[in-house]
Amino acid sequence: SSGAVPGTVMTTSGGLRLVDAGRATTIQDLGRRGLASLGVPRAGAVDRSSHDLANRLVGNEVDAATLETNGGLIVEATRALVVATSPSGDRHTLAPGARLRVDPPRDMMWAYLAVRGGVAVTPVLGSRSHDTLSGLGPAPLMSGTELPVGADPGTALVADQAPQRVRDRVVRLWPGPRVDRFADPLGVLVGRTWTVSGATSRVGSRLQRGDFTLVSTDRLASEGLVPGAIQVTPSGEPVVMLANHPTTGGYPVVAVVDELDLSIVAQAPPGATVRFRLAT
């Protein structure tokens, strides 16, 4: 294989070789928390539930780094490895030289590959995540790269399969700090079905234009953003902030997606529909 990802420490026991790096494949863990005041985005797995599921299947802690991909990822084991994928939820052992392809299903954006011991690249600011917005973290993955795998965690393997539960795309909302900038923006959000546009990524999911009526025209200074914040653009498009969102933004935040439902939005591909309801 080619050399290791810059800034990583290779293990003598080898690990995973990327036969094909696939589409938008990155290394992700739980991200960089507590650094937003310094302008450092959180990053981390865009679908936390799928990342956690894959890690549990191989006996890792949830903060172990996985591979997140939009599809077309093909890996080859350079030693015997225990791996799991989402959303299929299969766990099995790869013998040296064995290959595995990882793709999300048609109705989802992302899939995860977890390997027992985790992808053991060197953390940057406390995280092994690659941040597609700022460029922090491991270098972008390339075909032919070999990734190190960490030591066996010594935990029990308690399940052979745990497929991700398919849920309706109904997303709970909490009122945002700028709900007063529009006439009943929460009513607009919950009153219709929304279609995901082609402009969706790890940064955010942009929805089709809505009929938002602006009632305050005062200039709004940039404010801090959190994952799940829904900004409304001047053209009336709601944008849901995802894992690589900027730390600040100037569009009004009218609502925030419940943290437990954010993966539903993250996994909705262009053309998919979502509905909102108010959280209680």
d(CA 68, CA 118): 13
d(CA 109, CA 25): 12
How many Cα neighbours within 13 Å face the side chain of 29?
25
d(CA 112, CA 88): 10
d(CA 88, CA 76): 19
d(CA 127, CA 254): 30
pLDDT in tens, the chain (280 residues): 233 333 333 333 469 999 999 999 999 999 998 888 888 888 999 999 999 999 999 999 999 999 999 999 999 999 999 999 997 888 999 999 999 999 998 889 999 999 999 999 999 999 999 998 888 999 889 999 999 999 999 999 887 777 666 568 999 999 999 999 999 999 999 999 999 998 889 999 999 999 999 998 888 888 899 999 999 999 999 999 999 999 899 999 999 999 999 999 999 999 999 999 999 8
d(CA 129, CA 137): 6
pLDDT at 76: 98
User: DSSP letter at 127?
Assistant: B
Phi and psi for 51 in degrees, rounded to 5? -60, -45
3-state secondary structure 143-156: CCCEEEECCCCCCC
d(CA 239, CA 262): 13
How many Cα neighbours within 13 Å face the side chain of 233?
13
pTM listed for this prediction: 0.90
| Angle formed at CA 165 by CA 161 and CA 171, multiple of 5 degrees | 155
pLDDT at 167: 64
Contacts of residue 113, defined as CB under 8 A and 6 or more positions apart, other chains included, come to 54, 66, 67, 69, 73, 75, 83, 84, 85, 100, 102
Contact in structure between 5 and 17 (CB atoms under 8 Å): no
Contacts of residue 187, defined as CB under 8 A and 6 or more positions apart, other chains included, come to none
Contact in structure between 279 and 252 (CB atoms under 8 Å): no
